[in-house]
Structure 1
């Protein structure tokens, strides 16, 4: 993979549907590149001169997924979280490429254009697969790698993950959209929360309201289901790739110090994959959270922040 396109410039673009929530201390900007526009959420470091970090969300998520973790490490890194193409407030890519490689190329192009690399790269789920690929093919852009429930290939996916994989089947997403057209945004949000959290009761009332508002906003986007379907298909296709392009083979080539975070109640990425990942990523460290689900950085942000701090402290000494 290469990133030889001319870098673009960052400009401000008004939200296209409704306002995106911005937490205190955050700001949004739009990075415009040829054929690609990315919404970037910034959490500046508490002081100047801190090393940069980039956070990448999972399937169906957005940069808001990192709003709980970023303020806990803003004394350590200068943070940015981007919305992958077609998610959050980033429009679809002109190429229509929602593959893992396509998303990885978007991350690389952003880093090349911004000149922020090497960064402390953090990814969750789909974002974890994307971050793995970026770290393997562009080691010059990655200082450390943190993966929260990364979507790496499983030979026997657990049954609770099957419905998500089925979205990738042509026609299924459209059928599901018709079957659920009467569902409210709150019903959809509660369903996603039950799937992604180890303990949904940990979501505060304010957090639930914010999630419902975001769901309502996304459902108005004309490309919502297309982005979901094609990105899910991209994950499935990545699982079938063999040889040097396989994600596990690329994981073996990652040189950056790596932190792996797995939840014991994860219904989408099997907890049993933690052992394989720890053996594959050379010199990696593993944080196991028995009560966490798929989004540990949202359920247990303090614990994840502590492990992240330890990773950076140790890597700076080596």
Structure 2
């Protein structure tokens, strides 16, 4: 898709075929001791990132990124937890290295079906399921509707309905409004990859100065690669629209109602400087999830697993230790 085309226009078959070359084949080594592989499911292909080598006997864990993110968002945390869990991070359809789904479904249900399909195809469940932002929304829905696939739940700044949303989150929500993405594309056509990356980091991090120059340049190159994909804007806009639509559902389909149905131990991580998910929703979340514990990071932003991975790793280990003790106590009951 060129910068002048509508973001709502699905990528042509020829363009998708061309960009399929950007999807790494199975077993390709990535930077930092990670491996990327492609998993083929019905109507889609998903790229999965793992640490290499993988230790046997560790608890299976799946990490799900947020809107506009990728499996690489979890690299720092996965590295810290490599001795604790057998972790995998997925690129949702249309993000990272995963191509668009054949049916063009970027709804929360569509993304959830992709994650469930991955878990079922690899028979890894129940897993310790970890999600950030939109990935937290997806993980919540899976934990509520498919409890057989989830052992514990960890949500980093989960995108759950908030009314009214904080002012700094409005521009992201407006991406779902017809015509707004086209205006943004035209207005930012001449932006350098450095400026685009700087704006994104400023939105997601509580303290953007924590990013080293090397990390910044790596992020800029990756952002440049992804924004050049013909389906980039289509995936972003449709996923944003799917998230906004999920916020409006009522009854048993309400995200807060589904949070109340989650029975597994749940770790909630919220940042005090989050510009996308207000810290005030942490209190409602701790009440909604029945077996919850809260990690508050006062100077954290929207992606605490990237900004403060040591704190998140410590809380996650505590969650697993608590779950293990509970499981041991249950198994020893007469």
Aligned counterpart for 1:40 among listed residues 38, 48, 56? 48
TM-score for the superposition, normalised by structure 2: 0.89
**Misfit runs of 4+, over 4 Å:** 18-21
Q: Are the counterparts in 2 of residues 264 and 293 from structure 1 also a CA contact under 8 Å?
A: yes
Partner of 1:222: 230
Aligned to 2:59: 51
Question: Could you say if the C-alpha distance between residues 174 and 114 of structure 1 is closer, same or farther in structure 2, counting changes exceeding 3 Å?
Answer: same
- CA shift, 1:47, in A, is 2.8
Gaps of 5+ in 1: 1-13
Match of 2:196 among 188, 192, 203: 188
Deviations 1:235-270 (A, max 9, x none): 100100000011100000011110000000000000
Aligned to 2:76, what secondary structure does the other structure show?
Answer: coil
- What SS does the aligned partner of 1:143 have? strand
Distance in 2 between the 1:217 and 1:142 partners?
33
TM-score (norm 1): 0.93
Evaluate the alpha carbon distance shift between residue 15 and residue 303 of structure 1 in structure 2; reply closer, same or farther with a 3 A threshold: farther
Q: Does the alignment pair 1:16 with 2:16? A: no
Count residues with an aligned counterpart. 305
Closer, same or farther in 2 for the Cα pair 1:18/1:49, shift >3 Å? closer
Q: Which residue of 2 aligns with 1:203?
A: 211
Structure having the higher Rg? 2
User: d(CA) in 1 for partners of 2:316 and 2:23?
Assistant: 34
State the partner residue of 1:238: 246
Alpha carbons 1:39, 1:82 under 8 Å: kept: yes
The reply on whether 1:307 has 2:312 as its aligned counterpart is: no
* Structure 2 residue aligned with 1:141: 149
1:102 maps to what in 2? 110
Taking only aligned residues, the RMSD between alpha carbons, in angstroms, comes to 1.5
Q: What residue ranges of structure 2 are gaps of 5+ in the alignment?
A: 1-18, 327-334
1:71 is aligned to 2:71: no
Q: What residue is the counterpart of 2:283 in the other structure?
A: 275
CA contact (8 A) 1:18 1:217 kept: no
Q: CA 1:21–1:158 in structure 2 vs 1: closer, same or farther (change >3 Å)?
A: farther
Contact 1:38 1:90 in 2 (8 A): yes
User: Partner of 1:255 in structure 2?
Assistant: 263
Counterpart-to-counterpart distance in 2, 1:45 and 1:103: 28
| Whole-angstrom CA distance in 2 between matches of 1:47 and 1:79 | 10
Instruction: Return the alpha-carbon distance in structure 2 between the equivalents of residues 231 and 15 of structure 1.
Output: 20
In 1, Cα distance between equivalents of 2:40 and 2:222: 23
Q: CA deviation at 1:108?
A: 0.3
Shift of 1:18: 8.3
Q: Is the 8 A contact 1:244 1:250 kept in 2?
A: yes
> Structure 2 CA distance, aligned partners of 1:209 and 1:69?
20
Query: Is the CA contact 1:168–1:232 (under 8 Å) kept in the aligned structure 2?
Result: yes
User: Is 1:87 aligned to 2:92, yes or no?
Assistant: no
Q: Which residue of 136, 139, 143 maps to 1:131? A: 139
Q: Distance in 2 between matches of 1:109 and 1:255?
A: 22
Q: 1:137 to 1:44 in 2, by over 3 A?
A: farther
